[in-house]
Structure 1
Amino acid sequence: MSVTGLIGFVGLIVPHILRRLLGADARVLMPASLLLGGAALVLCDLISRASFRFLSTEPPVGAVTALIGGPLFLILLRRRAV
């Protein structure tokens, strides 16, 4: 996290979610991770810009990514441990 920041967190979450949905075949998983990871970052940027527009400011995209990705990562860890 110290090198890539919080946006790199998407690269950890998205493939794990897709692996549960699509299976472990890398021929399917790699392109799907690329597309869904990009879409997730665009969605987080949109949320970041829209949610604070009335204050004429915006939080960093990494903060929104962490707020969404943190709980998802904990859910993935909990399901795997059980």
Structure 2
Amino acid sequence: VLTAICVAFCGIMGFVGHIIPHACRMALGTDHRLMMPASIVLGAMLMLFADLAARTVLSPMELPVGAITAMIGTPIFAYMLIKRGRRYDG
């Protein structure tokens, strides 16, 4: 029950928390001294951008932030899955 409550409140951040560190690892390598601050900054920037877009795209109405993060994160997630499949083929 506690897990369901946490996912209900933090589901959006959990999705960003899975995508951003992997994207930073692909861009910066595995050095945690660079990857950790970059993950923090990029995750915050993504959430700010998603919130801004959710509030301004349909100005009188407001889109769910989860829809914006899904539109941004799904292609990145698909790319990571495809890249992983190619890496383990040979």
Pair in the same fold by TM > 0.5: yes
Alignment: residue pair count:
80
- 1:37-77 per-residue CA deviation (whole Å, 9 max, x = no partner) reads 00011011111111110xx1111111111121112101111
Question: Which of 45, 62, 65 lines up with 2:66 in the alignment?
Answer: 62
TM-score normalised by the chain length of structure 1:
0.88
Higher RCO, Cα 8 Å, sep 6+: 1
Q: Percent identity?
A: 46
5+ long unaligned stretches in structure 1: none
Give the distance between the partners of 1:5 and 1:17, measured in 2 at CA.
Answer: 19
What TM-score do the two structures reach when normalised by structure 2? 0.81
Report whether the alignment pairs 1:7 with 2:2: no
Rg larger for: 2
After TM superposition, give the deviation of residue 24 of structure 1 in Å: 0.5
Query: Residues 7 and 63 (structure 1 numbering): CA distance in 2 closer, same or farther, change over 3 Å?
Result: farther
Cα root mean square deviation, aligned: 1.5
Runs of 4+ with deviation above 4 angstroms: none
Unaligned runs of 5+ in 2: none
